[in-house]
Amino acid sequence: MTGNRRPIEAVVFDLDGVILQSEEVWDEVRAGYVRDRGGRYDERAQRAMMGMSAPEWSRFLHEELGVPGEPERISAEVAALMERRYRERLPLIDGAREAVERLAAVYPLALASSSNRSLIDAVLELAGLASSFTATVSSEEVARGKPAPDVYLEAARRLGVPAAGCAAVEDSHGGIRSAREAGMLVVAVPNPTYPPDADALAAADIVLDSIASLTPATLGG
């Protein structure tokens, strides 16, 4: 642990890229959705949307990528396609369930995710992890998505713990910046497919090779 930080009282997990290997699924589903509706999709679009809240990326699909229809409907339709994929096969990252359970035995946990509320609830049900989390927050429930700190600050508020007493587990550039701006200790587990940029990674307090190596001892617990 770095510097003179206060002891960790709670842990906040990201979902996509930390618990689920889902960025590729999001990319595939949104690419197909956009192209089926005459829009434009490429790698830059995917990276631009990493960490965006559902209202933000659905507006992006409409305004920047040329998808017709209201953003609210776009968001709901894409979320339904994602949930269908998850119910066919949930792409849990190796060691993620065990890491959550290890941490939940010591700390209250929250989830701070850019995924839609319906997807958060479905994933935790399918993974058998719903009881491990005291609070869950979708960035569609706050004013701004990552890299703004809103979703992490709201997670800390729902836990009843100061943000400075929380550790955040993140994989992406936007998520690392979000947790850092919230004042949390940041544990980075870089996404190998969509790695965070060097500046974001340098802002993390702890960098792990995999979620399987995350234990209470990592956080001083």
Chunked into runs of 10 residues, the chain (221 residues) has average pLDDT values of 74 97 93 95 85 90 96 96 98 97 98 96 97 97 94 98 98 94 97 86 95 96 74
Strand partners, 169: 13, 187
**Domain 10-21+91-219 architecture:** 3-Layer(aba) Sandwich (3.40)
CA distance 182 to 200: 14
Instruction: Show Cβ contacts of residue 211 under 8 Å, excluding neighbours closer than 6 positions.
Output: 18, 19, 93, 95, 96, 99, 169, 189
Cis before 147 (ω within 30): yes
Q: Is the pTM of this model over 0.75?
A: yes
Give the Å distances, CA to CA, from 178 to 73, 98, 102, 147, 211.
Answer: 27, 25, 24, 4, 19
Give residue 1's pLDDT.
47
CA distance 143 to 221: 33
DSSP single-letter state for residue 114: S
Note whether 10-21+91-219 and 23-88 share their fold. no
What residue ranges do the domains of the chain occupy? 10-21+91-219, 23-88
Q: Where are the alpha helices (DSSP H) in the chain?
A: 23-36, 43-49, 54-63, 71-88, 96-104, 117-127, 150-159, 173-182, 198-202
Computed from CA positions of residues 207, 212, 213, 218, in that sequence, does the dihedral angle turn out positive or negative? positive
Give residue 126's pLDDT.
97
Q: What is the CA radius of gyration of the chain?
A: 17
Helix (H, G, I), strand (E, B) or coil at 135: strand
DSSP single-letter state for residue 31: H
Burial 155-189 (b: 16+ CB within 10 A, else e): bbeebebebebbbbbbbbbbbbbbbbbbbbbbbbb
Computed from CA positions of residues 190, 90, 38, 115, in that sequence, does the dihedral angle turn out positive or negative? negative
Domain 23-88 annotated CATH 1.25.40:
no
Assign residue 139 a region: left if phi > 0, alpha if psi is -120 to 50, beta otherwise?
alpha
